[in-house]
Amino acid sequence: MSSRPIRIAPSILSADFARLGEEIRAIDLGGAEVIHVDVMDGHFVPNISIGPLIVSAIRPVTAKHIDVHLMIAPADPYIPAFARAGADTITVHAEAGPHLHRSLQAIRAEGKRAGVAINPATPVSVLEHVIGDIDLILVMSVNPGFGGQNFIPESLDKIRRARALIGGRPIDLEVDGGVTTQNIRELALAGADLFVAGTSVFKGNDPSTYAGRIAALRNAASTVTA
């Protein structure tokens, strides 16, 4: 039994965009391993957020890993722009287009880590035949589009299934939506190792609270062994 490292990825969707640089520095100093960037197009999801310009703007502010979650369709035409902007991982949705394998190849061709996100209604089995082309699986535990939604309990079983599919491969298993100190332990036990947290970190937008909240999430999860 060895412990699986727990990594916390605050989602800047819940940051104060008027002070975005300060918000990023605060979560970086506060111990976040990964900066999660939610990109929405008002078409694949019913909300519009940010594009490559913001990724370029935050890239010089932090040396932490930038994890770009593309909730856009089509995704492929925009992969080079996010790669150039400084993304480390680029995640596309399995539901965003008919050619997932091509999207993953396009991400790796840019020299970036390739992620696939699956919506609550999408089975883990869609990943079976592209598992060798994936660096990260993102299990959506809310319907994508907004921060601050409640965790969908059925996601736990999907995390277990995704962990089983991953087997011994070096693939990150990320969970996104409604992650709190109350449920993070169960999620870690199910096999997740990368935890997106929007509201749980940024609620109130007081940078002096972020380090404590990130530590609280990590502590709540990290008693887990695998």
**174 belongs to the binding site for ligand DX5 (CB under 6 A):** no
Is 176 near Zn ion (CB under 5 A)?
A: yes
State the Rg of the chain over Cα.
16
> Binding segment for ligand DX5 among 76-84, 122-130, 190-198, 216-224 (CB under 6 A)?
190-198
Assess contact for 4 and 173: CB atoms under 8 A. Answer: no
Residue 179 interacting with ligand DX5 (CB under 6 A): yes
Q: Which one of the spans 101-109, 120-128, 140-148, 210-218 is the region binding ligand DX5 (CB under 6 A)?
A: 140-148
Integer angstrom CA distances of residue 222 from 63, 170, 181, 185, 202: 24, 19, 11, 7, 21
Under 8 Å between Cβ of 217 and 197: yes
For ligand DX5, which residue of 86, 105, 148, 160 counts as binding (CB under 6 A)?
148
Q: How far apart are CA 84 and CA 144, in angstroms?
A: 25
Q: Which residues are catalytic?
A: 38, 176
What are the tokens at 186? 């169960």
Choosing from 198, 214, 220, 224, the residue that interacts with ligand DX5 (CB under 6 A) is 198
Q: Compute the distance between CA of residue 80 and CA of residue 155 in angstroms, rounded to an integer.
A: 31
Catalog residues that contact Zn ion under the rule CB under 5 A.
38, 69, 176
Catalog residues that contact ligand DX5 under the rule CB under 6 A.
11, 13-14, 36, 38, 69, 142, 144-149, 176-179, 196-200
